[in-house]
Amino acid sequence: MELLFQFLSNTGYYLADYRQIIMIVVGTVFVYLGTAKEYEPLLLVPIGFGILVGNVPFFKGFGLGIYESNSVLHYLYFGVTTGLYPSIVFLGLGAMTDFSSLLARPILMLLGAAAQMGIFFTLLGALALGFLPKEAASIAIIGGADGPTSIFLTAKLAPHLIGPIAIAAYSYMALIPVIQPPIMRLLTTRKERIIHMPELREVSKKEKVVFPAVGVLLCCFLAPASIPLLGTFFFGNFLKECGVADRLAQTARTAIIDTATIFLGFTVGASTQGDVFLTAKSIGIFFLGAVAFSIATASGVIFAKIMNLFLKDKINPLLGAAGVSAVPGSAREVHLVGQSEDPTNYLLMHAMACNSSGVIGSAICAGILWSFMIVL
């Protein structure tokens, strides 16, 4: 009988805490949104299920929890805390990315730079709210709207915030259709939204082969701390474009990125244990994340309008919203908003150019912030 009571006192039913119940509800909502509503299912399903697993109450000391040094989950989490998974995701992302539209219209790269302003505004906001500099930098990078980059920088600067920052970054990426269109409409007139972009010129194979080599050298010389992200990103793209390593490129953009995404999402979800996740800091991070993402979107749109003051061939300012690096969600949203005004307006390829530039821009920002924090 004593054995039975002892067993029962070690079950999740007995050990359950209200914070874990709250997180299980949050996880269930993520899984529901991912499966039933198909909101970013490749992200929300692993994260949501990870939240469920990470919040099952357990007896501390058995080596079960993600924060216990000898647990299986802890070993899987190693890829997050070292920045390994984000780096692998960037390899696959590079092998998926087609830079043709960016090479055909390089000026769109400036919109990717402008959209990074959200990061630096949020850095100030986070410092003002009392976060320490390393925490503030990790929160600010949410403005880049890039999950792996946010996780990478947070793992390096403020590992105790990985859970809330990752959840905030991925949540806002899934909420792109809700957050971005009102900002785009607010900051543009109908006349601007119906601006048609010219067809893109044909880009030669040689340009596409040379670009990753030029890109990695220029970006990583400027911000060497972004090598773990941009090094693999441009390497993946070179595999795709060089034409002699198709098998490697194919593996990088399918099996490798999928494996890394599964473990990244699952372990980040599992890291949101109620007792460490439900804090006042997490609420502050969610608030600042929304601010960062909104400012990033607005910065891109406003900068496109400023560019139009000087350009002969006007740019559709909606494209500025695709300067955040949420690929391809924000590009798709720009295209849809453009089409809602004029169904013959086809902005997707141009928006993808801004999106690609945003990926590069946010990785450079991560490198810059990391470098700044090293000297602090």
Residues that bind other proteins (CB under 8 A): 42, 96, 98, 100, 102-103, 106-107, 109-110, 112-114, 116-117, 119-121, 123-124, 127-130, 132-133, 136, 199, 202-207, 209-211, 214-215, 218-219, 222-223, 243, 328, 339, 344, 346, 348-349, 357, 360-361, 364-365, 368-369, 372, 376
Phi, psi torsion values for 281, nearest 5 degrees: -60, -40
Widest Cα–Cα separation across the chain: 85
Locate 267 and state its tokens. Answer: 């372990």
In the complex, least distance from residue 267 CB atom to other proteins, rounded to whole angstroms: 22
Of the two residues 276 and 349, which places its CB atom closer to other proteins in the complex?
Answer: 349
For 204, other C-beta atoms within 10 Å of its C-beta total: 11
In the complex with other proteins, the residue whose CB is nearer, 72 or 124, is 124
* 30 residue type, one letter: F
| C-beta of 76 vs 321, nearer to other proteins | 321
CB of 207 vs other proteins, minimal distance in Å: 5
Q: Which of 36, 344, 357, 297 is nearest to 177 (CA)?
A: 297
| Closest separation in Å from C-beta 218 to other proteins | 5
Whose structure tokens read 């034409």?
243
Tokens 């990985």 locate to 162
Residue 52 or 220 having the CB closest to other proteins: 220
Taking the C-alpha atoms of residue 165 and residue 281, their distance in angstroms, rounded to an integer, is 10
User: Which residue has 């992302």 as its token pair?
Assistant: 93
State the nearest-atom distance from the C-beta of 151 to other proteins, in Å: 19
Shortest reach from residue 23's CB to other proteins, in Å? 28
Nearer to other proteins, 129 or 262 (CB): 129
Assess whether the previous peptide bond of 224 is cis (omega < 30° from 0): no
